[in-house]
Amino acid sequence: MLYRIFSCCTLVAALGLIVPATAAANTGHKSATKSSISKTSNHSAKAKPSAKNKSAKAKTSKPAAKTSKTAKSSNKQITNRAIANARKDVTISRTLAMSTTLDNPGVQSTGVLVLNEQSGEIMFEKNADAVTPIASITKLMTAMVTLDAQLPLNELLTISQADVDTLKNTTSRLTVGTTLTRGELLLLALMASENRAAAALARTFPSGQATFIRKMNEKAQSLGMRTSRFYDSTGLTPSNVSTPRELALMVKAAHHYPEIHDFTTSSEYSFISSQTGRNLAFHNTNPLVKAEDWTIGVSKTGFINEAGRCLVMQATIDGTPVVIVLLDSNGKYTRIGDAQRVRKWIETTSASKLRAG
């Protein structure tokens, strides 16, 4: 309990670093800046500083100058550093992990496959042929079908009531009537796992949603995913199923699409809503894409109750291109911890290095 309280405090402190830096660095958001100036003016008008206050201000002038100088640095770098530090402090999955051995990276996920993408050799597997729901990992297939159709990514599409989730009743900040380009919807579906974005991509497919779903299954069969089945473009239905071994094939195929690489590894994206006029910021659901010590080619997370927490990645580890599939992880941070364990295992275990060629 004390550890969690300490972690929360650390997170609050980290976020405290973001706010002043963001307000000073983000010159594009004029309304936020005006609001800050207005509040500062009101505060100054109400409070008459005493001699002690003036003295205190004089003493703190140097730190204020430092703050101003710091604010000129990249907002994105500050935000990413603060988030990374906060996450590092609250992650506790390592203390619960199994011991790593020469033949086992000590992962906790139920279904696992670690594949040497270069040689095709299986470096580690666990329940690799078990058929299981895959949640939003589905969106990688959604992206490939969309891109295969060579539809214009700059075409404007509008979120409709038909895109609203009535199966799981999940929420979304993409309100009905929001208009974005097909490319933006694809980005949000892959990076932020936006369900309405993925639904809109299938609904607006030239031949209709049913044709889109059929092409998803045809694509799966062409990749050798014999037991995989797709019934929607979002992954909200537990009927979308696959195995760790077959998902490795899908990740390998997705890695050949430059747009999928760019969109799945982007850390954040913001835009002005066409409905509310407010700025909306979306972030990547995989915190590892922000880490400087990871070289990630493809990333996708997923979660519904039936699937558990899932993560698939293509990454270069110790000079070796590797595909990592982690399904049905129990715990919010377990899949991230498992990915870290796999990387450490490859980097430090001699047996795994031999398998890596």
Q: How far apart are CA 307 and CA 138, in angstroms?
A: 12
> Does 136 qualify as catalytic in the annotation?
yes
Sign of CA dihedral 19, 22, 24, 27: negative
Q: Scan for tokens 């470096």, then name that residue.
A: 123
Q: Which of 109, 126, 139, 290 is catalytic?
A: 139
Query: Which residue in 93, 109, 172, 193 is the catalytic one?
Result: 193
Catalytic residue among 93, 109, 136, 172, which? 136
Q: What is the rounded distance in angstroms from the CA atom of residue 227 to the CA atom of residue 242?
A: 6
Q: Is 139 annotated as catalytic? A: yes
Quick check: is 193 catalytic?
A: yes
Residue 300 counted as an annotated binding residue: yes
- Residues annotated as catalytic (active site), given as ranges: 136, 139, 193
Detail the residues annotated as belonging to a binding site for substrate: 300
Detail the residues annotated as belonging to a binding site: 300
